[in-house]
Amino acid sequence: MAERQLRCTTAASEHQKTWFAELRRDVFEHRKPYAIVQADMPLELFQVMRVPVVSNQWWGAIVAAKRLAPYYLDRMNEAGYHDGLCRYCSLSLATSLVGDPDQAPWGGLPRPALVAARLTCDCIQRIFSAWGEVFGSEFVALDAPGATDLPPRWWELSRHRWTELFEGHRLDFMVAQFQRLIAALERITGERFDENQLHALMEGVNRQEELFEEVRELICSAPRTPVRMHEQVANVMAAQWVRGSEWAVQHARAFRDEVKARVDEGIAACPGERLRLMWVGAGLWHDTDFYTAFEERFGAVFVWSMYLAFGPDGYIRYGLDDPLKALASRTVSMNEQLHNPPWANEWIVDQALRHHIDAALVLRPLGTRPSATGNLFIERALKKAGIAVLPIYADMVDARGWDPAAMRCTVEGFLEKLSARK
């Protein structure tokens, strides 16, 4: 486990453990409903209806960090699911299919009242159908039409001109589907949905993401990065899963304050920082130590990942007269923004330049297709902008094909050349 330099990081970690223990207690002892959802779902609707959510990707990352992915994925393969199927989106399902709560992190996932996902990749409907079947839970699916009009510099439009950026027909369709999801949540909870509460929550999300934007700017402008990438991720994602809530906004503020104090006091995450690195893609959840492995010898610090940077650009929406439509605009295009041309390549190059990045390590996922696309466009664009690129062939949750020593050696070779040029 990589060193934690920020008090906030410990607080975020403890919050998540406590939250999950409370969730299990509420579900088992008080029969309260909760949901398992895909990460790109409108989590805000669940919050307004007071239905806690476990994100598929968050749970998968926990399982991977506990080094349990090989065990579960092997069991999946033995059950007849071939080893070419996507792993990031299905590892959490594997824990439910295999069962064995003694093995699962924190006692495992209890039965949810519903499972819900956007039908992005063709496998998602199958994974969540299987999940619903395992638990005997309702599956609410939201169809995901493709983006057809993609102005390249989307982040310049997403805050104020989101109605035109995300195409009216896609927003209206998503809102119509939200109504079906809301009806399911009302049925489960016996409560009525209140659009005013959603409006207030959306305002909270804006506050939270504005605080993250301040952190991002601090990282861009500080002579050396004040906070390591893995601590950025821990703090940001703990808040994103409950975004807009009182705790999330408070945590974002505490995070901003702590990072700002470090900058004011001239504290660097790595005092010997000489190379600023960018990690493109989902996290390497089974080997997070990788992100600090090159500091001592090369002064190479991972400064950027999408997790913090995407918050302000991807989530802030001003003009909340129709909060459902604003929420739809946050939901409909996440995959295009992060993983597909032209949005992903244009945005990542812009981020690299703002963060004074020397080199990008681009994850080429071996077993996860949705986030495996767009990478060659991203790599070409980064190189064109003068940023060195090293592709990393790995799976974000599956450690079975990962050789930590060999991969570190590869990166060191790359950094040696980079250091010599600098």
Contact residues for another protein, defined by CB under 8 A: 79-82, 84-86, 119-123, 125-127, 129-130, 139, 141, 143, 145-148, 150, 152, 169, 173, 176-177, 180, 336, 340-342, 345, 364, 369-370, 372-373, 375-377, 380
For another protein, the closer CB: 208 or 329: 329
Distance of CA 173 to CAs 12, 46, 60, 176, 324, Å?
35, 19, 29, 5, 11
The least CB distance from residue 269 to another protein, in Å, is 32
For another protein, the closer CB: 141 or 252: 141
- CA–CA distance, 80 with 289 (Å, rounded to integer): 33
The least CB distance from residue 123 to another protein, in Å, is 6
The least CB distance from residue 101 to another protein, in Å, is 22
For another protein, the closer CB: 90 or 206: 90
**83 contacts 65 by C-beta, under 8 angstroms:** no
Per the DSSP assignment, residues forming a β-bridge with 275 are 300
- CA–CA distance, 82 with 78 (Å, rounded to integer): 8
Peptide bond into 342 cis (omega under 30): yes
The least CB distance from residue 87 to another protein, in Å, is 11
b/e string for 115-148 if b means 16 or more Cβ within 10 A? Answer: bbbbbbbebbbebbebbbeebebebbbbebeebe
The least CB distance from residue 304 to another protein, in Å, is 22
Which tokens in the block code for residue 111?
A: 């039965």
For another protein, the closer CB: 152 or 272: 152
For another protein, the closer CB: 50 or 169: 169
For another protein, the closer CB: 152 or 223: 152
- CA–CA distance, 84 with 81 (Å, rounded to integer): 8
DSSP, collapsed to helix, strand or coil, labels residue 401 as coil
DSSP strand E in 275-319: where? 275-280, 300-304
For another protein, the closer CB: 208 or 371: 371
The least CB distance from residue 403 to another protein, in Å, is 19
Burial class (CB in 10 A: 0-12, 13-18, 19+), 385: middle
The least CB distance from residue 343 to another protein, in Å, is 9
